[in-house]
Amino acid sequence: MSSTRSVFFVLLGLAIALMQAFAASGFAETRPRAKEKAGKVWLVYFFASDCEKCGHVKMLIEALKASYPVRVKAFDVDRKPNYELMQRLQAIHSKRRFAVPLVMLGETILMGEAEISAKLESAVRKLAKSGGAQAPYLGNAAGERSVETADTRCRKCDQRGRPPDIANELKRIRGILGGWL
């Protein structure tokens, strides 16, 4: 009788675990969800302390922070490590020459007061609605020496030192799993 009872409890535990996993996946939800909460949008902002246009962009970013869940990593290029970081990011992310003011968010790079003023709010709104955006890839951690040069390309994604985006990773995963998805 005790072995029957232990099998029953094992099966009951397995059934509860499966129901919890099914409920957590969202498939079991039949009613529409309440309006989704906007996700945090991280942006990287490069500026020069004596740049008037950078000051205008800073005020724009502060205004956006009041309306959207914006988080900012700001770098003053008057400091040598920050200027060097901007140069490394130029080698990784763009073929254009970077200049301040410069804003990076998600996969978007905006440069100059006019471009930032015209496009930043719509980019933030779109990213916030879609669940937010992590801080853009900034390369190696501070103080770490890079073993790659600006011309080194990734063999898999053919991008210069940049990690692959989520769409490419999902394609690769689907290819590995084949017909399972």
Q: Are 47 and 75 in contact (CB under 8 A)?
A: yes
Single-letter code of the amino acid located at 96? R
Percentage of residues in the chain with pLDDT exceeding 90? 40
Q: 15 with 75, same domain?
A: no
Helix axes 113-129, 52-67, angle to 10 degrees: 20
Q: 2 with 52, same domain?
A: no
pLDDT tier at 1, thresholds 50, 70, 90? low
Other C-beta atoms lying within 10 Å of the C-beta of residue 66: 7
The answer to pTM > 0.75 is no
Q: Check pLDDT > 60 for residue 51.
A: yes
Q: 123 with 58, same domain?
A: yes
Tell me the residue range of the domain where 79 lies. 41-129
Q: 63 with 123, same domain?
A: yes
| Tokens at 157, concatenated | 């994604």
Other C-beta atoms lying within 10 Å of the C-beta of residue 114: 10
Q: 10 with 45, same domain?
A: no
Q: Are 107 and 96 in contact (CB under 8 A)?
A: no
pLDDT tier at 37, thresholds 50, 70, 90? low
Provide the CA 148 distance to its chain's centre, in angstroms: 23
Strand partners for 44 = 73, 104
Cβ density class 118-150: b for 16+ within 10 Å, e for less: eebeebbeebbeeebbebbebbeeeeeeeeeee
Q: 78 with 17, same domain?
A: no
Q: Are 88 and 142 in contact (CB under 8 A)?
A: no
Domain CATH for 62: 3.40.30.10
Mean pLDDT of 55-79: 94
Q: 85 with 5, same domain?
A: no
Q: 121 with 49, same domain?
A: yes
* Per-residue pLDDT tens over the stretch 120-171: 999 999 999 998 888 877 765 444 444 333 344 455 555 555 556 666 666 7
Single-letter code of the amino acid located at 175? G
Separation in Å, CA 96 to CA 29, 109, 110: 47, 10, 11
Mean pLDDT of 80-106: 89
